[in-house]
Amino acid sequence: VREERSGSVQVVAELAREFDFDDVDGRRPPSIRSLRFVVPNFVLSDAALDEMGSSSQPLAVRALRKLRDYVPDLLLPWSVFTSGPPPTASSSEDA
């Protein structure tokens, strides 16, 4: 298994899920590719919601803040973040 992953980009949170290990405090943070990370930090961030609150109903913004806790831990494909799959050892040697 290590040989297959050697030289490639790995996301520690995804390895933690696969190999069933936690952080020192017992938590397992979501992957940077996970909706659970992306939505609260970018879509429903405090800054984005504060900006919405100035133009929309404050009640709706409070409801959106509560939704952050219910975002599923689904992984988005690498192509959402880049122009293709993650780099591999062979593609980084070609550059």
| Cβ atoms within 10 Å of 13's Cβ, excluding its own | 20
| pLDDT for residue 6 is more than 70 | yes
> Tokens 């017992």 appear where?
26
pLDDT at res. 25: 92
Residues sharing a CB contact under 8 Å with residue 39, sequence separation 6 or more, in sequence order: 68, 71
Residues sharing a CB contact under 8 Å with residue 16, sequence separation 6 or more, in sequence order: 22, 23, 28
pLDDT at res. 10: 87
pLDDT at res. 20: 92
Q: What is the DSSP letter of 35?
A: H
pLDDT at res. 95: 46
Average pLDDT rounded to a whole number, residues 40-59: 71
In angstroms, rounded to a whole number, what is the distance separating the alpha carbons of residues 19 and 21? 6
CA atoms within 13 A on the CB side of 77: 5
Token couple for 89: 């050892």
Token couple for 40: 């609260």
Torsion of CA 42, 46, 52, 56, to 10 degrees: 140
Average pLDDT rounded to a whole number, residues 7-22: 89
| pLDDT for residue 92 is more than 70 | no
In the chain, pLDDT over 70 holds for what percent of residues? Answer: 74
Decide: pTM greater than 0.85: no
Residue 43 confidence class, pLDDT cut points 50, 70, 90: confident
